[in-house]
Amino acid sequence: MPDLLLELFSEEIPARMQGKAADDLRRMVTDKLVAEGLVYEGAKAFATPRRLALTVHGIPARQPDLKTERRGPKVGAPDAAVQGFLKATGLKSLDEAKIQRDPKGDFYIGLIEKPGRDAIDVLAEILPVIVRTFPWPKSMRWGARSGKPGSLNWVRPLHAITATFGLETEEPDVVKFEVDGIESGQTTYGHRFLAPAAISVRRFEDYEAKLLDAKVVLDPERRKDAILTDAKQLAFAQGFELVEDQNLLDEVAGLVEWPVVLMGSFEPEFLATPAEVIRATIRNNQKCFVVSDAKTGKLANKFILVANIEATDGGKTIIAGNERVIRARLSDAKFFYETDLKTKLEDRLPKFEQIVFHEKLGTQAARIKRIERLAAEIAPLVGADVARATRAAHLAKADLLTEVVGEFPEVQGLMGKYYALAQGEDPSVAAACEEHYKPQGPADRVPTDPVSVAVALADKIDTLVGFWAIDEKPTGSKDPYALRRAALGVIRLIAENALRLSLMKVAASALAGLWVKPADAQKLPSDLLTFFADRLKVQLREQGARHDLVDAVFALGGQDDLLMIVRRVEALGKFLDTDDGKNLLAGTKRASNILSIEEKKDKRSFDGTPDAALYSLHEEKALAKAIGEVKTEASVAVAKEDFAAAMSAMAKLRPPVDAFFDKVRVNDDDTKVRENRLKLLNEIRSATRAVADFSKIQD
Amino acid sequence: MDASLPAHMRPERSFQGFILALQRFWAEQGCVILQPYDMEMGAGTFHPATTLRALGPKPWNAAYVQPSRRPKDGRYGENPNRLQHYYQFQVIMKPSPPNLQELYLKSLAAIGIDSAVHDIRFVEDDWESPTLGAWGLGWECWCDGMEVSQFTYFQQVAGFECAPVAGELTYGLERLAMYVQGVDRVYDLNFNGREGDAKVTYGDVFLQAEQEYSRHNFEHADTAMLFEQFKMAEAACRKYLDAGWREGGNRKQHLMALPAYDQCIKASHVFNLLDARGVISVTERQSYILRVRELAKACGEAWIHTEAGGAA
């Protein structure tokens, strides 16, 4: 079956858009083909800075014929209806129609045959529509045609379209179409500088090979492989190691059609500037890689650049030019760093009084004061020295006003640490300047130093309470202040450091420090707690754990000690994995079901202690006794926070519960006995509540 | 590069030769070579030959040097790269020709940048001027890792769609010349291409000016006067715009778009000076930018009702 080759040749496509554009092109073309009844065998799309290319192979040469039946009027219907039917079906006379009988009478049926069209004609119709409606994140008009309405929009000027269709064994046909003056054909162009001449292509195989001859590596994965391999080798040969950087690699591969990897160097004096600053400078501004010393692991005074040409001088000029720019950039960075060192972090703080954090939440200065107060309050709860935690909170944001962070926002925090160390701060205070931002996401490291933990918690809880107070909560996919991340950060800080603190109390205290006083201030801490419960569920779900157990534990009420919640959920999960757990859950649910039916019937509840005198059967007595024992044992265990022991106690309930349901009829004819048995069932429910609300657990 | 040029006129030897080579190249592409606009402005884009001429249906090809003033970038002559006054070379072609990228690369060849040994790249950079109500898509052009030009297809100017679209090229002349001459300090650029006693450097011409203007921009510029000037320019712009509509009120033809626009340029530069003096707060800053943009938009509207702006 024939194959399609499509190439859209344009001026330089932004690197960050290439990957998605290739995917979109493949998806749009293949979706359309399938919708047109043309089921293909395979498709692959590629992007370089100057072209999007697509190959679809195994497309049927023709669409299948379509046969449809159309029901017409009743036999003997008025002439107007018959004429309408003939016109709609294209039949010459009623003789060509069939007659079909059904309970309502005899009807004319017209058979319409729609012959399939040649795939190449279908393609000629769909491809221009795809070009016209292509979903670029940003597109533009250009040239003389842009003076008229309806001109084509593309990411950058589009120059040529190659579109061929045919069998491997034959000369393919051009899929003929035109978009805004650009006619499809089979001519493309090679590398902008190394082989700019026109190339005539037939199908994907020779297209890819001819491009390679014309110094264009079509497949971005191949370009990435080549860059990575060459970069590693070049570094290795000189005793260095490439500092790998996937995002940079992706970007650089989108900036070249013919990657040529070269190495340059800079003056070793620059290495006195922190390595992260050098890396950020070289990476962000110059899109070059850095290398480290293979032995010491320290940053070396070398960089790796990826050029787009094989220069006639072997790259000497290119290296010299890049070195020049990097030298200038590094001397700026060094200057920024040295300038920063001249000002103490605390001397920067007054400036925060002019900087608004959020118009409803006041200035950065006010926020820093709140974090200081909260960190001091949290410090004793997490084993941190109060004075150090306060000092760390005082200085932690100051680096935002430094030159280096102004230039490279991604080194915020880290620079704070360097500057704090340089001015002789306590090491844990310095560490907190960096670590209070952590964890930034589910994969990020959780700080363990108590000072860092205190400030990290204070920072995040202040943020959460603040935005809750002004009703800027995350909705759906919108979370502009990254509040979900902050809440998850709090959960991880507490769980991974095994911290004991009452979130309600801390939140209430954070709230008291705000200048805004929300109308429903009373409800806020518990609202926030629900948000934490949701984040915990999401986190457990992502870890593949049972998130419904979170609800079962939260439903107990008064639970605001995250560590205990997590522990309880873990123990409950383990218990429910055992037979005892499963059966007890089933028994409890059965008891709950019966109770809720009978409660409805009688319009009353069956609270209260059952009357031992009314027990007549052995199973009743045994259950009552077991409940009594289990309750005591479980609550002792819970008080000791030994949830595994509480679960083992629960397990003892299983045999008497099973036996009870086996032998005892709850709805006894004697109303007193019935009431007493229902009360006993209620006791099962309340006994299990020592560990969780079993009714909230999904089966 | 033209081999017949005398040594002191070669672009790799002389800053003025460098500028002349660019002018000559673009003259040969059919551009009118204009002289700098006689007002202070932050970038070549502000020149009416770009801002206003980019609007309307009439073809327009022009190139010119524009001294650009960025009061905040002054460094008292102590920074090797930063200047509060420097030159931009500006090319505008409307409609954008299909081979504009090739023309640009040829222009680099004309000033001595050979694409066989230099790595030239078009790296995404979308351009937006909040004060001009303008935006476009394009690239920053890199030569061996250094940004040497800005390449933009104007989509909107003064709040109006560009139809047809103009292509705009902006060369940072000092930076490019430093690269071609191989000097690391802008003041070391050879200005006239001569050697020995006859040599005049960029520093000879501009170092004192950088020092004096840095003092002026950061320390002494009369802010009370500047605030007043901003208001005056804004009011004058409005006044000229109102007066320019022909036969009062039907807004079909405008007769004074250019003088009105001069006041918009003026307001913009005064704002930049006030900003450098640090007397405009963050919130006020936004509102000043907005006020200039409103002027630019109103001037754009007037312009498209003039003859050169394409009014019938």
Q: Which residues 123-142 in chain B show a CB within 8 A of chain A?
A: 123-124, 126, 136-139
B81: which chain A residues are within 8 Å (Cβ-Cβ)?
328
* Closest chain A residue to B100, measured at CA: A143
Tell me, what's the pLDDT at A599? Answer: 87
Looking at A77, A98, A114, the residue that finishes a domain is A114
- Considering the domain architecture, whether residues A631 and A687 belong to the same structural domain is answered as yes
Tell me, what's the pLDDT at B2? Answer: 67
3-state secondary structure at position A665: coil
Distance of alpha carbon A172 from alpha carbon A186, whole angstroms: 10
- Kindly state whether residue A564 falls inside one of the protein's structural domains: no
Q: What is the CATH number of the domain that holds A390?
A: 1.10.3210
| Predicted confidence (pLDDT) at residue A9 exceeds the cutoff of 70 | yes
B109: which chain A residues are within 8 Å (Cβ-Cβ)?
none
- Considering the domain architecture, whether residues A226 and A263 belong to the same structural domain is answered as yes
Q: Number of A:B CB contacts under 8 A?
A: 112
As beta bridge partners, residue A156 has none
| Predicted confidence (pLDDT) at residue B251 exceeds the cutoff of 90 | no
- Considering the domain architecture, whether residues A414 and A516 belong to the same structural domain is answered as yes
- Kindly state whether residue A682 falls inside one of the protein's structural domains: yes
A159: which chain B residues are within 8 Å (Cβ-Cβ)?
98
- Kindly state whether residue A582 falls inside one of the protein's structural domains: yes
pTM: 0.80
Averaged pLDDT, B275-286: 82
Distance of alpha carbon A130 from alpha carbon A21, whole angstroms: 12
Q: Which of A395, A382, A386 is nearest to A431 (CA)?
A: A395
CB contact under 8 A, B115 and A328: no
- Considering the domain architecture, whether residues A123 and A260 belong to the same structural domain is answered as no
- Considering the domain architecture, whether residues A333 and A375 belong to the same structural domain is answered as no
Spell out which chain A residues touch chain B, with contact meaning CB-CB distance below 8 angstroms: 11-12, 14-16, 49, 138-148, 155-157, 159, 193, 255-256, 286, 288, 305, 307-309, 311-313, 316-318, 320-322, 324-326, 328, 354
Distance of alpha carbon A419 from alpha carbon A433, whole angstroms: 9
Q: Which residue in B81, B121, B126 is closest to A255 by CB distance?
A: B121
Question: Which DSSP string do the residues of A191-259 spell out, in sequence order?
Answer: -TTT--SEEE--SHHHHHHHHHHTT----HHHHHHHHHHHHHHHHHHTTEEE---HHHHHHHHTS-SS-
Q: Is cis: bond before A64, omega within 30 of 0?
A: no
Q: What is the DSSP letter of B219?
A: I
Tell me, what's the pLDDT at B304? Answer: 95
Angle at B106 between CA B101 and CA B109, to 5 degrees: 135
Tell me, what's the pLDDT at A118? Answer: 95
Tell me, what's the pLDDT at B248? Answer: 60
Tell me, what's the pLDDT at A356? Answer: 82
Q: What is the CATH number of the domain that holds A610?
A: 1.10.730
Do the Cβ atoms of B158 and B297 come closer than 8 Å?
Answer: yes
Do the Cβ atoms of A609 and A631 come closer than 8 Å?
Answer: no
B144: which chain A residues are within 8 Å (Cβ-Cβ)?
317-318, 320-322, 324-325
Q: In Å, how far is B4's CA from the nearest CA of chain A? A: 25
* Closest chain B residue to A252, measured at CA: B123
Q: In Å, how far is B117's CA from the nearest CA of chain A? A: 5
A141: which chain B residues are within 8 Å (Cβ-Cβ)?
153, 155, 162-165
Looking at A314, A341, A368, the residue that finishes a domain is A341
Angle at A36 between CA A33 and CA A37, to 5 degrees: 95
Q: In Å, how far is B79's CA from the nearest CA of chain A? A: 10
- Burial class from Cβ neighbours inside 10 Å (0-12, 13-18, 19+) for residue A508 reads middle
The per-residue pLDDT for range A631-642, each reduced to its tens digit, is 899 889 988 888
Write the single-letter amino acid at B140: E
Q: Which residue in B118, B137, B164 is closest to A143 by CB distance?
A: B164
Tell me, what's the pLDDT at A525? Answer: 85
- Kindly state whether residue A561 falls inside one of the protein's structural domains: no
Averaged pLDDT, B35-51: 96
B137: which chain A residues are within 8 Å (Cβ-Cβ)?
138-140, 155-156
CB contact under 8 A, A145 and B155: no
- Considering the domain architecture, whether residues A52 and A77 belong to the same structural domain is answered as no
Distance of alpha carbon A190 from alpha carbon A261, whole angstroms: 20
- Kindly state whether residue A552 falls inside one of the protein's structural domains: no
- Considering the domain architecture, whether residues A25 and A134 belong to the same structural domain is answered as yes
Write the single-letter amino acid at B84: Q
Among A142, A310, A401, which would you mutate to test the B interface (most chain B Cβ atoms within 10 Å of its Cβ)?
Answer: A142
Q: Which helix (H) or strand (E) holds A133?
A: none
Per DSSP bridges, beta strands A158-166 and A182-185 are parallel
Q: Looking at the predicted complex, does its ipTM rise above 0.90?
A: yes
* A380 phi and psi angles, rounded to 5 deg: -65, -30
Instruction: Give all strands (DSSP E) within chain B, no chain letters.
Output: 32-34, 60-69, 85-94, 120-124, 127-129, 134-143, 146-157, 160-161, 167-172
What total number of domains does chain A contain? 5
Q: Which of A92, A75, A183 is nearest to A131 (CA)?
A: A183
Averaged pLDDT, A333-360: 90
Range of the domain at A660: 573-696
- Kindly state whether residue A27 falls inside one of the protein's structural domains: yes
- Kindly state whether residue A282 falls inside one of the protein's structural domains: yes
- Kindly state whether residue A562 falls inside one of the protein's structural domains: no
Distance of alpha carbon A97 from alpha carbon B200, whole angstroms: 98
Q: Is B270 on the interface with A (CB under 8 A)?
A: no
A544 Cβ neighbours under 8 A, 6+ residues apart = none
Distance of alpha carbon B302 from alpha carbon B254, whole angstroms: 6
The per-residue pLDDT for range B184-223, each reduced to its tens digit, is 899 999 999 999 999 999 999 999 999 999 999 999 999 9
- Considering the domain architecture, whether residues A28 and A175 belong to the same structural domain is answered as yes
Q: Tokens at residue A103, please? A: 């309970």
Query: What angle, rounded to 10 degrees, do the helices at A414-422 and A427-435 form?
Result: 160
| Predicted confidence (pLDDT) at residue A686 exceeds the cutoff of 80 | yes
pLDDT band, residue B272 (cuts 50/70/90): very high
The per-residue pLDDT for range A587-632, each reduced to its tens digit, is 888 888 888 888 888 888 888 888 888 888 888 899 999 998 998 9
Distance of alpha carbon A675 from alpha carbon A670, whole angstroms: 9
- Considering the domain architecture, whether residues A375 and A458 belong to the same structural domain is answered as yes
Q: Which residue in A256, A317, A326 is closest to B118 by CB distance?
A: A317
| Predicted confidence (pLDDT) at residue B1 exceeds the cutoff of 60 | no
A325: which chain B residues are within 8 Å (Cβ-Cβ)?
144-146
Tell me, what's the pLDDT at A450? Answer: 96
- Considering the domain architecture, whether residues A146 and A226 belong to the same structural domain is answered as no
A376 Cβ neighbours under 8 A, 6+ residues apart = A386, A389, A390, A393
- Considering the domain architecture, whether residues A404 and A489 belong to the same structural domain is answered as yes
State CA A448 to chain mean position distance.
26
Averaged pLDDT, A387-408: 94
CB contact under 8 A, A142 and B96: yes
As beta bridge partners, residue A585 has none
- Considering the domain architecture, whether residues A202 and A228 belong to the same structural domain is answered as no
Looking at A197, A213, A229, the residue that finishes a domain is A213
